[in-house]
Amino acid sequence: MQGPPLPPGGLSSPQTPAEENKPPAEQTLEEQHLTIEPESDAEHAECTAALQALGVTFKEAPRIDDGNGCGIDKPITVSEALPGIKLKPEATMRCPAALALARWMKESVIPAASAALPEQGRITTVNQATSYMCRLRNSAETGKISEHARGNAIDIASFHFEKGEDVAVRSRREDPTLTGAFQRTVSAAGCLYFTTVLDPESDAAHETHFHLDVIERKGGYRYCH
């Protein structure tokens, strides 16, 4: 006796009814069938011109497509966040994330460091923990895709100063020192440039770094915690 007809494409249909009925929070990256966001040539050119005007050291990189919506249409690799301030290791991201990083550093981080920690000299390196990476948020098995997987995010682990030790990003809510004041100041200021700022006070997943991203939300809404 012949069974029911096979679905189009044979046995490997895109999604089973069970997968389709799963809420997004329970879907794996593969089950979400995401695509890479296309980027405007004109907007990319305008953004890279702004980076050049700020003195950011970067190079264009080939399009990244790691499947399942992970990738960047027009990636760049940044080696200096600003002139004389290395980004270690080099970070691959979309230009808008690099521009937000440069503006935050120039207008908020450097002035705050000069006011709080003048004896340490200038910042010479920003140590980053993660830039582009194909994964879901917080490296979970199911749920929303991470902005790291779209080139919109960077995690900052520490700042290295010319004359002093690294200032590591860690829980400093109760830190009464000027180092604590510096970290709290730059964390709060991050929301002027990024649309998401998560710091060590946010949750256990961010206890050793700032997560900064430029995801676009309706109404220009920003999440800073």
- Kindly state the tokens that stand for 169: 């990003």
- Kindly state the tokens that stand for 75: 């990636």
Residues 6+ apart with CB under 8 A from 196: 147, 153, 211, 212, 213, 214, 215, 222, 223, 224
pLDDT at 136 over 90: no
- Does this model's pTM top 0.85? My answer is yes
How far is residue 212 from each of residues 24, 57, 139, 215, measured CA to CA in Å?
Answer: 23, 20, 16, 10
**Tens-digit pLDDT profile for residues 159-190:** 999 997 899 999 898 899 999 999 999 999 99
- Kindly state the tokens that stand for 74: 């027009």
Q: Model confidence at 115, in pLDDT bands (50, 70, 90)?
A: very high
User: What is the mean pLDDT of the segment spanning 76-95?
Assistant: 98
User: What is the mean pLDDT of the segment spanning 6-29?
Assistant: 56
pLDDT at 66 over 80: yes
- Between CA 155 and CA 89 the distance in angstroms is 11
pLDDT for the residue numbered 6: 42
Mean per-residue pLDDT of the chain: 89
Alpha carbon of residue 35 to chain centroid: 18
